[in-house]
Amino acid sequence: MGKYPAPWSPITRKSAGRDGDESNCILLYDEQDLLIHMDFIKWNNPDEQFYNRLYGLLIDEPEAPNSLGIEWLKEKLLFKNKHDFRVETALSIFDRYGVTKGELDKHNLKIMTPIPKEINQ
């Protein structure tokens, strides 16, 4: 427990609507909050262009990702942002659809087939 009591705790327990009484909620946000959430969505959902760029990089430089790892791929494909997981997501999708086989961590990732249409829709 901290030095000071949390004044919101008793209020939220009583006023959260769980006691059957009406309650009010005021949501405070800034326009930047929406932009941040839009970035989170983008960073977790690669688009067709991203899949194609990653595929092209794996075709053009097949040994580099295995020897230099995921950080090399991120450096080639992304702006430096620790919250951007498009490379990991795209590699997982490639694996699921049989586009790639192997793992970067084991240094044996390779292209098996072209990108299927289902990925680029």
pLDDT band at 6 (very low <50, low <70, confident <90, very high): low
Q: Share the mean pLDDT of the chain.
A: 83
Closest by CA to 71, choosing from 59, 61, 82, 56, is 82
Specify the pLDDT at position 2: 54
Q: CA 17 to CA 43: how far, in whole Å?
A: 36
pLDDT band at 103 (very low <50, low <70, confident <90, very high): very high
Mean pLDDT of all residues in 27-52: 82
